[in-house]
Structure 1
Amino acid sequence: MALRVTFVAAARSSPLLAERFDDDRPLDQAGWDEVQHIAPGLLPLAAADLRYCSPTPRSRATGDALGYAPLVQLALRDCDMGRWRGLTLGEAMAREPQAVDAWLTDPRGTPHGGESLLTFISRVGGWLDTRPLEDGCRVVAVAEPSVIRAALVYALKAPPSTYWNIDVRPLSAVTVTGRGGRWNLCLDGLPAQASRA
């Protein structure tokens, strides 16, 4: 019995360098335009048996714009960044350079007073492992790029440091197949419409 979980990265709400920790801003106009452009390729995922999303405004808006009508899942929330919430990486680095260095190198570290990378990966992995299992069941989850990176690290049983080497772009999709504790990365591509974005 195998489950198929496709993660779709939320559309953007700001330029990459302006991304903020625990960003709760809605989609900007560029994000809406991207959704409209790529939607034809992602619309078939609306036929999934179960449809979920992160609780962020942009994840919910992306899922709704794609016709998924997703159910919010708190376990798919972004990493709790404690006192760095709302800051860009550059702003956190300017305020606490040693703390940021410690956070980037120690997956158990919580210099910001929030959640460790390891705890975050485990939380997202726990969500993945507890999806209802029916043979051939298809799930779609619209989530923040950080959540998708955590899910991939967990699914591949990769070292936590791998998290920093995964690039998840807005409105990209990736699928894992399997069941609790046994996941495979599935690179079967997107429909032609979506791949042109």
Structure 2
Amino acid sequence: MPLRVTFVAAARSSSVLAERFEDDRPLDQAGWDAVQSVAGELVPLAAAELRYCSPTPRSRATGDALGYAPLVQPALRDCDMGRWRGFTLGEAMAREPSAVDSWLADPRSAPHGGESLMSFISRVGGWLDTRPVGDGSRIVAVAEPSVVRAALVYALKAHPSSYWNIDVRPLSTITLAGLGGRWNLRLEAVSQDRV
């Protein structure tokens, strides 16, 4: 029986324009309000046999608010951004434009001194491939949108540059079904309220 891993993107901790690399800020009021507005749809995922989350405050708070009582998984942490940690993309671009260009163009580069995009995708994929398998195993994982993007690129065996073309909105969900190394994207029907 294939394993089902449903990723829930953490609620927001800032506006899109204020998002920072490796953001450690807790949920903002809009994030809390959004969790409450979708709780009816997402709370049933708490029935999963295993419930995990990224180590960030907003991922933990999102999981707790939905009743998941998730176990923190260090492998689901955001990409290590080295000296750009805490910067917005605009701030990094203003300080090191050629380094940012290199990082965006080459998935193997890590000009910030942290983790390359390839390493990040591989780390998240390694976590995905090592989940325990059992009859009807269901897992829910609350993670940063960047982690969900990395999981999708890995599962679909897409070129790493496709990472930049995936938009994962806060509190969106995706389900991957399969076994280690062979994953399928499973799109679920959603209510019109969330569209």
TM-score bracket, shorter-length normalisation: over 0.9
Corresponding position of 1:135: 135
SS at match of 1:139: strand
SS at match of 1:99: helix
Corresponding position of 1:59: 59
Q: C-alpha separation between the residues in 1 aligned to 2:148 and 2:169?
A: 10
Amino acid corresponding to residue 34 of structure 1 in structure 2: A
Corresponding position of 2:74: 74
Specify which of 187, 193, 196 is matched with residue 193 of structure 2. 196
1:182 Cα deviation from its structure 2 partner: 0.3
Amino acid corresponding to residue 38 of structure 1 in structure 2: V
Question: Residues 155-166 of structure 1 correspond to what in structure 2 (within 5 A)?
Answer: 155-166=155-166
Corresponding position of 1:124: 124
Q: C-alpha separation between the residues in 2 aligned to 1:121 and 1:74?
A: 14
Q: Over residues 123-157 of structure 1, what are the superposed CA-to-partner deviations in whole Å (9 max), with x where a residue is unaligned?
A: 00000000001131100000000000000000000
Corresponding position of 2:16: 16
Corresponding position of 2:26: 26
SS at match of 2:178: strand
Q: C-alpha separation between the residues in 1 aligned to 2:16 and 2:71?
A: 27
Q: C-alpha separation between the residues in 2 aligned to 1:101 and 1:180?
A: 34
Report how many residues are paired.
Answer: 194
- The answer to whether 1:91 aligns with 2:87 is no
1:196 Cα deviation from its structure 2 partner: 1.0
Amino acid corresponding to residue 196 of structure 1 in structure 2: D
Question: Residues 102-121 of structure 1 correspond to what in structure 2 (within 5 A)?
Answer: 102-121=102-121
Q: C-alpha separation between the residues in 2 aligned to 1:81 and 1:189?
A: 35
RMSD (Å) for aligned C-alpha atoms: 0.7
Runs of 5+ unmatched residues, structure 1: none
Amino acid corresponding to residue 65 of structure 1 in structure 2: A
Q: Over residues 52-87 of structure 1, what are the superposed CA-to-partner deviations in whole Å (9 max), with x where a residue is unaligned?
A: 000000000000000000000000000000000000
Q: C-alpha separation between the residues in 2 aligned to 1:154 and 1:135?
A: 24
Q: C-alpha separation between the residues in 2 aligned to 1:119 and 1:84?
A: 17
Q: Over residues 82-112 of structure 1, what are the superposed CA-to-partner deviations in whole Å (9 max), with x where a residue is unaligned?
A: 0000000000000001000000000000000
Amino acid corresponding to residue 151 of structure 1 in structure 2: A
1:189 Cα deviation from its structure 2 partner: 2.3
Q: Over residues 24-78 of structure 1, what are the superposed CA-to-partner deviations in whole Å (9 max), with x where a residue is unaligned?
A: 0000001000000111110110000100000000000000000000000000000
Q: C-alpha separation between the residues in 1 aligned to 2:189 and 2:126?
A: 26
Q: C-alpha separation between the residues in 2 aligned to 1:4 and 1:92?
A: 37
- The answer to whether 1:172 aligns with 2:172 is yes
Corresponding position of 2:43: 43
Q: C-alpha separation between the residues in 2 aligned to 1:95 and 1:174?
A: 35
SS at match of 1:142: strand
Q: C-alpha separation between the residues in 1 aligned to 2:135 and 2:23?
A: 36
